[in-house]
Homo-oligomer: A and B are copies of this chain.
Amino acid sequence: MKQKYAGSPLPAAKPQPGGARPGPDPCAACTARVLSVCNVIENKDLGRLAALTTSLGVEAHRTFINAGDPADYLFNITEGVVKVYRLLPDGRQQITGFLFQGDFLGLATENTYAFSAEAVTPVRYCRFGRKALEQFLGEFPKMEHRLLTIASNELAAAQEQMVLLGRKTAREKLASFLTMLSRRMGRLGRSEERLDLPMSRADIADYLGLTTETVSRTFTQFRTEGLIELPKSGGVRLRNRTALAELGDGG
Chain A residues 123-144 with CB under 8 Å of chain B are 137-138, 141, 144
Q: Is A147 an interface residue (CB 8 A)?
A: yes
Closest partner residue, chain B, to A172 (CB atom) = B88
Distance in angstroms between the alpha carbons of A148 and B147 in the assembled complex? 7
| In the complex, A159 has a CB within 8 A of chain B | yes
Provide the bound-state CA to CA distance between A208 and B162, in Å.
10
Taken together, the copies of this chain in the complex come to 2
Contact with B along A56-95 (1 / 0, CB 8 A): 0000000000000000000000000000001011101110
Complex CA–CA separation, A92 to B110 (angstroms): 34
Instruction: Report yes or no: B94 in contact with A156, Cβ–Cβ below 8 A.
Output: no
Interface string of A181-209 (1 = CB under 8 A from B): 00000000000000000000000001011
Complex CA distance for A221 and B153, rounded to whole angstroms: 39
Given the complex, which residues of B lie within 8 Å of A160, measured CB to CB? 86, 114
Interface status of A158 (Cβ within 8 A of chain B): yes
Report B-chain residues with C-beta under 8 Å of the C-beta of A149: 109
Interface hub of A108, A137, A155, A161 (most chain B Cβ within 10 A) = A155
List 21 contacting pairs A-B, 8 Å CB cutoff, sorted by A. Answer: A88-B167, A89-B250, A94-B167, A96-B163, A107-B151, A109-B149, A109-B152, A114-B156, A114-B159, A138-B141, A141-B144, A144-B148, A148-B151, A151-B152, A154-B155, A155-B155, A158-B158, A158-B162, A165-B165, A165-B209, A167-B209
Sort A-B residue pairs by CB-CB distance and give the 7 closest, nearest first: A166-B209, A158-B158, A165-B165, A88-B250, A151-B151, A94-B163, A107-B152
Residues in chain A within 8 A of chain B (CB atoms): 86, 88-90, 92-94, 96, 107-110, 114-115, 137-138, 141, 144-145, 147-149, 151-156, 158-163, 165-168, 206, 208-209, 249-251
